[in-house]
Amino acid sequence: MTKDFQTILNETGEVGYVEAVSQSVFYVSGLPKAKLNELVVTEEGQVGIISSLSAELVEVVLLTGTDLRNKARVARTGQSLTVPVSSAFLGRIINPLGIPLDTKGPIRADFAYPIEAKAPDINMRERVKDPLETGVAAVDLQVPIGKGQRELVLGDQKTGKTTFCLQAIAGQARAGSICIYASIGKKRSDLEFVEKSLTDLGVIANTVIMAATASDPATLVYLTPFSAMSLAEYFRDQGRNVLVVLDDLTTHARFYRETSLLSRRTPGRQSYPGDIFHLHARIVERAGNIRLKDGRNVSITLLPVAETLEADLAGYIQTNLMAMTDGHIFFDINEMKKGRHPAVSFEFSVSRVGNQTKTPLEREISDFVMEKLSAYRKAEEVSRFGVELTTQTLQALDTGEKLLAIFNQDSQIVIPKELQLIYMGIFLAGLWRDKNPKQVQVEKMRLLGEFFQGRFGNLPSLARKASSIKALVKEVNTFFRGS
């Protein structure tokens, strides 16, 4: 707050007193004109937001400060909660209130956006038709995401969910999109990992990191996804496409449950408050492919992250999020144990909207890969019995292992879509027929270096324009066998 307590008190003319304190929730008497979601400030500088009203008391959740004193004076501000927004936040780490958490100095905000904004109406929304390329071959070729889509990313701890999101940020930041990474209730060491990864990938300047750590008040953690969406809406209104990662909403739900139980609200399933679905839906619905007043289409693409326990997809929060998003990418702990990176499960992942962004070539490739991987899974099951394998089964195993080698990808590597198609063209042309999966990995890295050195000439553009697998194989054969 820029004004001091006495100035605020003189403007509103009402003074209340703290009657009770329960951790981050306190109750105030003497504010008859108080409104829901209004900011209040104590004489010692703590700031809170009104969460509920009763006949005698006002319930306030603490946003900043600690050590509330009983009978401390409280003043209304007459203002609802807003978050400062500015292009100056790019390349910075901030908290949900726009306060810098790094050591690069203060930030001057241009405007303030409401932290709770109405989702765009249906007549403002446009069909999702442009692909959002993540730079992760396993996703771009099998579970594609469109600009303006809401795609859930879920899986157990340490299965690579955050790593994938950071790769997606790198791919989009290099393409000119604005990226916002919201760290919700994570450890400071996790935040440092995110900052280092984005710096190493060279995209920190086009990214805003918004964070409320586990040591912050639960209310600040609760506000993080709302603030991230408000900042995204600011950039959207400037005509920029935005990618938002909310990491993660299961932690967000736990912190909201904490504040709700402290407020003595009636608990529901698994002690979560009854409005948890509505709460997350309000966040998710603010994303989409939106038509601005000037006729331009601008998107906010949302990647909410959810954590599962022992690969259980039927959890309460997880199924809620599945119901309100346009598909999900499941990171399977069993795939991770096999050394797959990323550990995406093709069987349990789905993209209900992103598939309409595929080209005819990409549809053919996707169908081919699913067919071969399905045959590989069946052959893998047969091989466990220790019986003598037929030539067909051995061929299915070899094909599947090479395909998975193509999809294996280091966490610091982002592969352009053109090169992903070239990889598949080389495989389909049989140029890797005599190589084992490890040799395929080596070849992939060699070709990656050559691609960025510009040694492929017109092949990348020809590969992207190919109308079918047959056309792609022809272009690849012409280049590699003819050179």
Q: What are the catalytic residues?
A: 352
Asked whether the beta carbons of 260 and 317 are under 8 A apart, the reply is: no
Peptide bond into 102 cis (omega under 30): no
Asked whether the beta carbons of 161 and 305 are under 8 A apart, the reply is: yes
Tokens of 42: 């104590």
Helix (H, G, I), strand (E, B) or coil at 350: strand
User: Going by C-beta distance under 8 Å and a sequence separation of 6 or more, which residues neighbour residue 467?
Assistant: 360, 361
Asked whether the beta carbons of 9 and 15 are under 8 A apart, the reply is: yes
Asked whether the beta carbons of 212 and 191 are under 8 A apart, the reply is: no
Sign of the C-alpha dihedral, residues 201, 211, 247, 290?
negative
H-only helix segments in 273-390: 276-284, 316-324, 333-337, 360-383
Tokens of 253: 């739900």
DSSP state of 141: T
Both ends of the chain: CA-CA distance in Å?
A: 67
User: Going by C-beta distance under 8 Å and a sequence separation of 6 or more, which residues neighbour residue 275?
Assistant: none
Distance CA 348, CA 329 (A): 8
